[in-house]
Amino acid sequence: MSKNIETLRWNVDHLEMIDQRILPADFQYITYDSAASVAEGIRSMVVRGAPAIGCATAYGVALEALTLKNTSSEEFLKGMEDAFVVLQQSRPTAINLFWAIDRMRSIMNENLDLSSNEIADILLKEAHKVKKEDIEINRAMGSFGAELLQDGARVLTHCNAGALATAGHGTALGVIRSAVETGKKISVIADETRPFLQGARLTAWEMVRENIPVTLISDNMSGHLMSRGEVDAVVVGTDRVAGNGDVANKIGTYMVAVLANRHNIPFYVACPLSTIDRSIASGSDIPIEERPTKEVTGYKDYQWAAEGVSVRNPAFDITPAELVTGLITEKGIVYQPTSKKISQLFDS
Ligand code: MRU
């Protein structure tokens, strides 16, 4: 298997996505040919991670347009509106999903004078562009972020913000990969990330296959390691950053940020501009997905929790901006983010 992970790829007339639910035991692509099937792939976590969800969404829109390419413009537009709705309903927290829909919808609207066939081609080209740009953005974040890590740094990360969560390279793991590429010796501490185990299954897999030293811990061990001086920096990804710099990321991130603050360890968030939602003033307005209780009560078909117990399963939490040392973006680092600094970033 090549070193580069192609989380999603276009194959002649359909989309293929790595089935992240079965990694690392099995490596398999699943084929998608409509917006509804892509929405189901997002909902069921075949593809996950905010930027990868954005790319999948763009392809979902293009696939639907290709299906409708021989229809009248009324039928085409009606079909496309249905596609936007079905994609919008797949997962609520990652803003990249809504960002990709807005981007594809405006391209469509700019070309309404063309035939359905021509619009479909333009939308497919745009989806390829979203994917290509994602990798370039990750590379740019990587070079800014790499400078923040000292040679020999032990970097804790939560969830998977790697190549699998993007079109390639990764956001938080992209920073680590870029630092390694500059010759720094970086070792990774991967939180296992209960309950879906993205850290144990995906981050550990990505790092092991590239020979980047990685140590797996369960989520409740990070405080202990920090208190012993065994963590030099935290780098995580994000699903949505509010206008004031509050960060939504995988459940458990807030806990890590509080601990990092307690131990004076820098806490960085790798964050493409497409993940910043300036329409939302603060983190309390970010919708938090509640996932099936089965993810907490057991794994696959095995249940370890007592039958009848009530369960909560919020998939994300909010880390207040005051706990964020810096947002690593493709335009540079925003230290101690505030509304003002974020506005300036967009204006620069
Ligand atoms: O539920 P998931 O696996 O989609 O959650 C993913 C995360 O929380 C990632 O940290 C985030 O999307 C950033 S990915 C570059």
Residue 179 CA to ligand 1 center (angstroms) comes to: 21
CA atoms within 13 A on the CB side of 98: 15
What's the CA angle centered on 276, arms 272 and 279, to 5 degrees? Answer: 160
Residue 203 CA to ligand 1 center (angstroms) comes to: 11
* Pocket of ligand 1, beta carbon within 6 A: 48-51, 94, 159, 161, 165-166, 171, 198, 237-239, 249-250, 315
Of 160, 194, 240, best ligand 1 pocket probe by most atoms within 8 Å of the beta carbon: 160
Residue 332 CA to ligand 1 center (angstroms) comes to: 21
> What whole-number distance in Å separates Cα of residue 189 and Cα of residue 57?
31
Give the nearest ligand 1 atom to 166 CA.
15
What is the pLDDT, as a whole number, of residue 4? 85
Contacts of 251 (CB under 8 A, 6+ apart): 314, 315, 316, 317
Mean pLDDT per 10-residue segment, the chain (348 residues): 83 98 98 98 98 98 97 96 98 97 98 97 98 98 98 98 98 98 98 98 98 98 98 98 98 98 98 97 98 95 96 98 98 98 95
Q: Whose CA is nearest to atom 15 of ligand 1?
A: 161
> What whole-number distance in Å separates Cα of residue 237 and Cα of residue 311?
26
> What whole-number distance in Å separates Cα of residue 320 and Cα of residue 317?
10
What is the pLDDT, as a whole number, of residue 300? 85
Do residues 114 and 122 touch, judged by C-beta distance below 8 A?
yes
- Partnered with residue 334 across adjacent β-strands are 327
Handedness of CA 66, 69, 75, 77 (dihedral sign): positive
Backbone angles phi, psi at 114, to 5 degrees: -90, 170
> What whole-number distance in Å separates Cα of residue 97 and Cα of residue 104?
11
- Find the farthest-apart pair of alpha carbons in the chain and give their distance in angstroms, rounded: 66
What is the pLDDT, as a whole number, of residue 159? 98
- Partnered with residue 290 across adjacent β-strands are 314
Give the nearest ligand 1 atom to 159 CA.
10
What residues act catalytically?
A: 239
What is the pLDDT, as a whole number, of residue 1? 46
Structure token digits, residue 24: 């690392």
Radius of gyration of the chain (CA): 20
> What whole-number distance in Å separates Cα of residue 195 and Cα of residue 291?
10
Nearest to 187 by CA among 168, 211, 218, 163: 211
Within 10 A of 215 (CB to CB), how many other CB atoms are there?
Answer: 15
Give the nearest ligand 1 atom to 50 CA.
12
> What whole-number distance in Å separates Cα of residue 237 and Cα of residue 302?
30
> What whole-number distance in Å separates Cα of residue 33 and Cα of residue 13?
8
